[in-house]
Amino acid sequence: MATLPISNQRQILETKSQINKTARPSLFTRYLSYVDSQEDQYIFWFMAAILAIPCVFMTLSIIVMYLYSGVLEYYIGFAMILFFANVLVHLAGMKARVYLPTFHITSLLMVLIPAITYLISTL
């Protein structure tokens, strides 16, 4: 088995190090850098949690669930727990790495639960 000359081995190592330097950061790393950049927008995210969750997400979700499934009691209780969790996270003075994922997860659940309920009711 032939080995590569030393100059080719160095080129391969240099190419690998250049590839590693130019590789994009992971999605999680980019999300954390976005969250860290939002640290000074504390009031905006607090107001978004207070206004967007009950006025937009909960209202539209309740309307959709009422039209298609009619089971609202458990969802309203769950949605209120998520809303108050968001408010308490902000009032406790948590960092952006806590309150932004909390808001994003709440928003995602408020959209996914009615969609899943609709899909189950159509089966």
Encoded tokens for 51: 């206004």
Indicate the SS3 state at residue 12: helix
Domain boundaries, the chain: 35-122
Over residues 101-117, the mean pLDDT reads 93
Angstrom distance (rounded) from CA 113 to CA 8: 56
Each residue of 30-85: pLDDT tens digit? 999 999 999 999 999 999 999 999 999 999 999 988 888 767 888 899 999 999 99
Count of beta carbons in the 10 Å neighbourhood of residue 96: 18
